[in-house]
Amino acid sequence: MAEELLAADRAFAAASRRTDVAGGMGAMLADDAVMPIAGGFAVGRDSVLAVIRGDTTLAGARLDWTPLRVGVSADGRHGFSLGYTSVQGADGTATPGKYLTYWVKRADGWRAAVYRRRRATTAAEAGTIPPVLPGRGAVPSQDPAVITGYRESLARAERSFSDDAQRIGLGAAFARWGSPDAMNMGPSTRSTFVIGADSIGAMVADGEPATGSSVSWAPDHGVLVASSGDLGVTMGTIVVNEPDSTGARRRFSFFTVWRRPTPDQPWRYVAE
């Protein structure tokens, strides 16, 4: 199943090279696709494409990407991919970047349910990393109550992650709640992904207070989870704890991909 998702992502990328950015993205987006934007989320395929078409820097451009890694759930219906992008401008310039996509397989095949792209200052060397495969003990469930329980457990994990950050610090919380092979986009000044929970923790701890955290967050925009309870995505809002000079607290939208080998084990983030 991982090979099937990888092939689908590559096929969408190949088709995207032959059209504009909205055309390339539109082919792969689910009807209910979600994309983080300033101030919240674009919800629905049409809304996402409206944001893309409204970006003047993409006028006449084409989007290409190369998947670096994929992961799939035991039910074969959910997955994620991440890798490197290149926007080929109308003037011939190339702008590098990184992307993360959460996929859901439906009647029309794999489609992007949640998507984010971030620019980078320099291009990264393409390659592949072994896929994230499901554990042998994870099996699909047809019981709606069980699947609801999986969603609720993932929402609790995200909230506990934020609560821990307030107590032990942002860096320590990221190190604790991430899987050993977790991958983070990192800032736009970095060309490659940050790999490993400890490395991610060290990155986010830079500039943080000695105790506690500068931000808190919650999955207030929703949660998607595979019927096998081993892969899911949280979507929500990061809030800066200290208000600015006007008394307002800055807010940023986010989404995080989580996994666990089996439903009786704790959730750990694997991509963001």
11-70 pLDDT, tens per residue?
A: 999 999 999 999 999 999 999 999 999 989 999 999 999 999 999 999 999 999 999 999
How much is the pLDDT for 155?
A: 98
Do 239 and 251 meet the contact criterion of CB atoms below 8 Å apart? yes
Flag whether pLDDT at 135 surpasses 80.
yes
How much is the pLDDT for 102?
A: 98
Look at residue 155 and give its three-state secondary structure: helix
184-241 per-position pLDDT tens digit: 999 999 999 999 999 999 999 999 998 899 999 999 999 999 999 999 999 999 999 9
How is residue 86 written in tokens?
């290149």
Least trusted range by pLDDT, from 99-113, 123-137, 176-190: 123-137
CA atoms within 13 A on the CB side of 254: 20
C-alpha closest to that of 70 among 25, 19, 12? 12
Average pLDDT of the segment spanning 111-115: 98
Least trusted range by pLDDT, from 74-83, 143-152, 205-214: 205-214
46-58 per-position pLDDT tens digit: 999 999 999 999 9
Give the chain's mean pLDDT: 95
Flag whether pLDDT at 126 surpasses 80.
no
How much is the pLDDT for 41?
A: 97
How much is the pLDDT for 116?
A: 97
Do 16 and 62 meet the contact criterion of CB atoms below 8 Å apart? yes
Rounded CA-CA distance 235/238 in Å is 10
Do 162 and 259 meet the contact criterion of CB atoms below 8 Å apart? no
Average pLDDT of the segment spanning 75-102: 95
How much is the pLDDT for 81?
A: 98
C-alpha closest to that of 6 among 99, 78, 86, 70? 70
CA atoms within 13 A on the CB side of 84: 19
Q: Whole-model pTM?
A: 0.96
Residues in the chain: 272
Tell me how many helices (H) and strands (E) the chain has. 6, 12
Rounded CA-CA distance 6/93 in Å is 27
How much is the pLDDT for 99?
A: 97
